Amino acid sequence: MEYLAYKYNFFYEGHRAVIDCLAGLHLLSQYLPVSKELVLKQLLMNCHKTRFKVWAKNAPYETKDLLKSRGYRWSTHPQENYKAWMVEIIENNMESELNFLQSCIYQKNYAIPIQTILPYNRFT
């Protein structure tokens, strides 16, 4: 949260419960730099959306820079215990992401692992 405060040009004495809460409230009352919408409005619009982790399992090594440029990061799958490139997306972007993987990464029909993240267990 200190980094976010820095980006919004304010500083606070952290690690005190009340002050941390006040700093959080102050951040929620700010406007986002690009969309010019309130942070709280964006939070409320996005908090109920189902998200998906799309895994580029067994992606060829030479595609790593392409995956990175598209927002993928190297991670460990929690249930199946393998390492792979992963990106988190919303449902609206699912079709284009799967098309990208099939055409640019695998260049064939490949069973792409997808993990559903429901809003109520997102951070558990």
Sheet holding 114-117, edge to edge: 73-76, 83-90, 51-56, 114-117
For residue 100, what pLDDT is reported? Answer: 97
Residue range 100-114, pLDDT digits in tens? 999 999 998 999 999
3-state secondary structure of 31: strand
Q: Where are the domains of the chain?
A: 2-46, 51-121
**In the predicted model, what is the mean pLDDT of the chain?**
94
Rounded Cα–Cα distance for residues 13 and 109 (Å):
54
* pTM, rounded to two decimals: 0.75
DSSP letter at 38 equals: B
Average pLDDT over residues 119-123: 85
> What Cα–Cα distance (Å) separates residue 44 from each residue in 25, 34, 38, 69?
14, 17, 10, 28
Q: Report residue 88 CA to chain centroid gap.
A: 5
Q: How far apart are CA 118 and CA 44, in angstroms?
A: 15
Place 81 in a pLDDT band, splitting at 50, 70 and 90: confident
Provide the CATH number for the domain formed by 51-121 in this structure: 3.30.70
